[in-house]
Chain A
Amino acid sequence: QLQLQESGPGLVKPSETLSLTCTVSGGSISSIENSWAWIRQPPGKGLEWIGTRYYSGSTSFNSSLKSRVTVSIDTSKNQFSLKLSAVTAADTAVYYCARLADYYDSRSYSIGRYFDYWGQGTLVTVS
């Protein structure tokens, strides 16, 4: 059973860089079927995808955040991380790490990806 756990400072000052780490247990972060993502949820609001690192090594990011986001992986520690620069109060949110799983539906012949494992989330306040 895969488990994910976010860690990092709960309070960040405006204009500084938010840094979070997701530790993966129960599986290898470098396994070919594993892609990893960050998702956030401002207090009382909905979910927002931040970015993904695919097992191929490529990355993709939410266009609204792209200029400020970095996602990296540390295979030796089985961790992946998020850095979000120049934060403002609008970046205050619960930040989740998640695995992005591939699937093939043999009935509809469709392929796709969905977020199957999530961390418990960590609240980061910018103030």
Chain B
Amino acid sequence: QSLLTQPPSVSGAPGQRVTISCTGSSSSIGSFDVHWYQQLPGTAPKVLIYGNNNRPSGVPDRFSGSKSGTSASLAITGLQPEDEADYYCQSYDSNLRGYVFGTGTKVTVL
């Protein structure tokens, strides 16, 4: 049972900007940082954003993250065909005393 809620899908044309929301609670996102992962079809997840808005080396600056209160967002600007993938947010939940993932969002490039 995931306690981080994401929209099931978002879509956009190449070059457009899309955003993915991640809604948690005071015991998760409200208290801890959010991280984002990209999962291309048939592959393992890869970290895109850590600590709310930090990009690991090699991640394009088209990807950006933000957090406010008990919600977070991932934005993809200049959408490209290779961005078609599943995206997951992740945080820690103090009530559960464990790491939690979002429900996942499928991004489709039209």
How many residue pairs link A and B with beta carbons under 8 A? The number is 70
Asked if A46 and B2 sit within 8 Å, CB to CB, the answer is: yes
> From DSSP, what is the main secondary structure of chain A's interface residues?
strand
Q: Kindly specify which of A7-15, A18-26, A56-64 makes contact with the partner chain.
A: A56-64
- Complex interface: chain B residues within 8 A of A62 (CB): 96, 98
Query: Known contacts A60-B97, A61-B98: does B88 contact A114 (CB below 8 Å)?
Result: no
Asked if B96 and A63 sit within 8 Å, CB to CB, the answer is: yes
Query: Known contacts A49-B99, A110-B33: does B51 contact A116 (CB below 8 Å)?
Result: no
Query: Known contacts A112-B51, A114-B50, A114-B90: does B45 contact A49 (CB below 8 Å)?
Result: no
Distance of B53 from chain A, by nearest CB (Å): 8
B24 interface contact, C-beta 8 A: no
Query: Known contacts A114-B47, A118-B44, A121-B44: does B98 contact A60 (CB below 8 Å)?
Result: yes
A49-B98, A110-B33, A115-B47 known, 20 other contacts, Cβ within 8 Å: A46-B104, A47-B37, A47-B101, A49-B99, A60-B98, A62-B96, A62-B98, A63-B98, A64-B1, A96-B45, A103-B54, A105-B33, A105-B51, A105-B52, A112-B33, A112-B35, A112-B50, A115-B90, A118-B45, A121-B44
Residues of A within 8 A of B (CB): 37, 46-49, 52, 60-64, 96, 103, 105, 108, 110, 112-116, 118-121
